[in-house]
A and B are shown apart, each in its own frame.
Chain A
Amino acid sequence: MTWLWFFAKIGVALGIIFSLGPVCIMGDRKISAWIQGRVGPNRVGPWGTFQPIADILKLMMKEVIVPDGVDKVLFLGGPLIVFIAPVFGYCVIPFGNQIGEEKLQVVNLDIGLLFIMSVLSVGVYGITLGGWASNNKFSLMGSLRASAQLISYELTFGLTMLLVVMMSASADPLKSASVDLSKIVLHQAEYGWNIFGGATWWGLPSGLIGFVLLFTCAMAENNRLPFDMAECEAELVGGYHTEYSGMGFAMYMFSEYCSMILSASLIVTLFLGGWSFPYLTDPADHSFLAGVISIGVFFTKICIILFLYIQLRWTLPRFRYDQVMSLGWKTFLPLALVNIGYMAVIGVFLEKP
């Protein structure tokens, strides 16, 4: 029975990531078309809904060209690494409440947040290795940019996560802070979402700033458009995947969307109350129906965040590389530090038992 549950949960987690992936690709193209006053893909299947399938089929049937002078192992391994990382990360995301005794989370790690943190950074190895192995200056430049950007924004990312951990401890001084994602969500379900400051009114500015910071950093880490320094067509041909074709390119493309979904889930889990929604879900209700509803709530929230991602991509122009760096180091990092400083100091003075 436990094994059955285990596989069912893996199924749901993989289902979320692999079903939303093509939907995201499609959504990206359709929404960009609508915003630009176009129709978008509409030939394959009804309203063009089979377009992502056609895309993937096309890329699968294309020849994988391995240029002379590349490091074959790393060249072919790069896409694999980026592809696997977000899937790995998904195993600690709580995508629903409990059904009976079973938490709706593939593995309930005590160190969920740290696990996510490390897995999120593994993805950039794939990009860096792929770009370096390509033996092409543009690819190398793109991958270097990707790693520089990731390191810069990882700091703010981590500090914002720290803020969440502090918030999840703030309501009940006797309870210690937790990096267990399911506990963070439960705390939000009970006391209020972290974006609104968690349990306390004075946390509100902190929560809002934290949300904006996390959202932006997640975007920067996924190399999404306002921050897509790594594949900047205007300067770097195609960036790190210039030399890739066929399946290698498909995996890079798909993994961008997968890690988008992972970070959207992370944002939802950390700041938007995970699977909880007032009056719709009840943390104490462990029936099957309530579990399904909580999965639905979680799914809807991810979709909203993903939509925001896509819309932002087609709204904002791309940053210049030095602007990205100065935004990360000179604005976001101090802001995040001040933010957790505020949270810590006020927490100590106002919440002393």
Chain B
Amino acid sequence: MDAHNPHADAHKDAHALVAHAPPGLSWLARASIAAYLPSIAAGMAKTLEWMFRPAVTLRYPEQQYKPRKGYRGEHRLKKDEQGRPKCVACFMCATACPAECITIVAEPAPWPDRDKVPAKFEIDMLKCIYCGMCEEACPCDAIELTETFTQIATTRKEKIYDKERLLKN
């Protein structure tokens, strides 16, 4: 076997007792099966101890999981003070996205302070891997990931969020 594989060595160690016992004494090594009994007893004690520990799982629908700060959930498109989407349709997020799940179609901006606004801004939530790269890439701080943990939908279509849906988040 491969001598550089640590697993192979560990495997050898475990069986060395029986496999490498002197020829006449292999029966003795095998009879040392009794040596396993203390370990089994220790294991039983461990499982018994665990039986009386409180459960670590949540009873989900009743007890909700509260994500920690910085959890990367559904996206949100932010608005500025005047209630306009901050996004300037620069495509930075779509370029940065490793899952390629952001689809943007730009149109000329109706306001003088920017060139473009997104006519269409879609994120396929089922393709998204929630890596947060879009948030990092955005030069206008227009997109961010919220701490929404539960995402429910009954069709795939529902999980393709358009601009309105993302602005609502």
Contact = CB atoms under 8 A, between A and B. Distances in A.
Interface in A116-151: none
Nearest to A317: B43
Given A327-B33, A331-B31, A37 B44 contact: no
- Chain A at the B interface: SS class: helix
A315 B53 contact: no
A315 B33 contact: no
Given A315-B43, A315-B47, A39 B55 contact: yes
Secondary structure type dominating chain B contacts: helix
B55 A312 contact: no
A213 to B, nearest CB: 11
A305 to B, nearest CB: 14
Contacts of A327: 33
A311 B33 contact: no
Contacts, number: 45
Given A37-B53, A212-B37, A315-B46, 20 more contacts: A31-B51, A33-B55, A34-B51, A34-B55, A36-B50, A37-B50, A37-B55, A38-B56, A39-B57, A42-B59, A311-B44, A312-B44, A314-B47, A315-B40, A315-B43, A331-B30, A331-B33, A334-B27, A334-B31, A335-B31
Contacts of B52: 34
Interface residues of A, number: 20
Interface residues of B, number: 19
A62 interface: no
A37 B33 contact: no
Interface string B38-75: 00100110111011110111010000000000000000
A212 B33 CA distance: 12
14 contacts: A31-B51, A33-B55, A35-B51, A36-B50, A38-B57, A42-B59, A314-B47, A315-B40, A315-B44, A316-B40, A316-B43, A327-B33, A331-B30, A335-B31
Interface in A22-59: 31, 33-39, 42
Nearest to A37: B56
Contacts of B37: 212
A72 interface: no
A38 B44 CA distance: 18
Contacts of B27: 334
